[in-house]
Amino acid sequence: MVRFENVGMRYGLGPEILRDVSFTLEPGSFHLLTGPSGAGKTSLLKLIYLAERPSRGAIWMFDREIATTPREELPALRRRIGVVFQDFRLLDHLTVFENVALPRRVMNELESSYRAEVEELLSWVGLGNRLNAKPATLSGGEKQRVAIARAVVAKPELLLADEPTGNVDPDIGGRIMRLFIELNKLGTSVLIATHDQRIMERVPAQRLFRLAEGRLTTANAADAVLAEAKRA
């Protein structure tokens, strides 16, 4: 579904902030991406979302090698991905309902085919009574929940979520995680960038990617190194 081979990335002429990043996301997989602030988590998600280009290495998305894919074909690949951005990126002139419904409208679906689902999703994240509110009137955590509902509403093949529980209380955070797990059970591959200790505790170690100083390790690899060191 996603494959990175020795990917490096820099912003403009700045230093490389990602170095030799290699990993594979299988269809239906569930992974967390963790690492200190500034480690490059958001940048890595931007590469997957095709919002930035690597300065080195190769990226395959849905079996397409990105560097050789014509630019005009990228939006179609992007539509197969649901994204929760760290800064939400809601459309201010649309209501909560309209923001969440947008991915379905873009797919030319009739409102009658998604209205109930959008309402149900918004109830699930605790916003059933804010359907007609504009984003400007919402709190940070409420905006985050709208962004989450919008990211999952079209049941994307891949879901990327950047600190999706950063602004909500533990109860809502738990509901959001259950939503992601349900979506994963329906076949969506999920990658969540997070510092949230409560989320990390709920996910097996082999599903943890760690970024530090631009390099990616899995908890597995780290364990292997530790085991190696103990043997020596």
Ligand X SMILES: Nc1ncnc2c1ncn2[C@@H]1O[C@H](COP(=O)(O)OP(=O)(O)OP(=O)(O)O)[C@@H](O)[C@H]1O
* Edge-to-edge strand list for the sheet holding 56-61: 16-25, 2-10, 56-61, 64-65
By C-beta, is 142 or 162 nearer to Mg ion? 162
For residue 33, give the nearest of 169, 216, 227 by alpha carbon: 216
Task: Give the shortest CB-43-to-Mg ion separation in angstroms.
Answer: 8
Q: What's 133's DSSP letter? A: -
Dihedrals phi, psi of 162, to nearest 5 degrees: -100, 105
Can you say whether the dihedral through the CA atoms of 103, 70, 12, 10 is positive or negative?
positive
Binding site for Mg ion (CB under 5 A): 41-42, 86
Residue corresponding to tokens 């939503």:
179
Task: Give the shortest CB-215-to-ligand X separation in angstroms.
Answer: 13
Binding-residue pattern over the window 14 to 53 for ligand X, x denoting contact by CB under 6 A: x--x-----------------x-xxxxxxx----------
96: tokens are 């909560």
By C-beta, is 40 or 103 nearer to ligand X? 40
Could you tell which of ligand X, Mg ion, none binds residue 43, using a CB distance below 5 to 8 A set by kind?
ligand X
Could you tell which of ligand X, Mg ion, none binds residue 11, using a CB distance below 5 to 8 A set by kind?
ligand X
For residue 159, give the nearest of 194, 186, 126, 184 by alpha carbon: 184
Q: 84 pairs with which residues across the strands?
A: 161
Can you say whether the dihedral through the CA atoms of 15, 16, 18, 20 is positive or negative?
negative
Could you tell which of Mg ion, ligand X, none binds residue 37, using a CB distance below 5 to 8 A set by kind?
ligand X
140 binds ligand X (CB under 6 A): no
Which residue is at the shortest CB distance from Mg ion? 42
Footprint of ligand X on 71-110 (CB under 6 A)? 86
By C-beta, is 153 or 194 nearer to Mg ion? 194
Separation between Cα atoms, residue 193 and residue 210, nearest integer Å: 10
By C-beta, is 49 or 97 nearer to ligand X? 49
Task: Give the shortest CB-193-to-ligand X separation in angstroms.
Answer: 6
What lies within 8 Å, CB to CB, of 187 at 6+ separation is 27, 28, 157
By C-beta, is 47 or 118 nearer to Mg ion? 47
By C-beta, is 42 or 184 nearer to Mg ion? 42
Number of residues in the chain: 232
* Interacting residues with ligand X (CB under 6 A): 11, 14, 17, 35, 37-43, 86
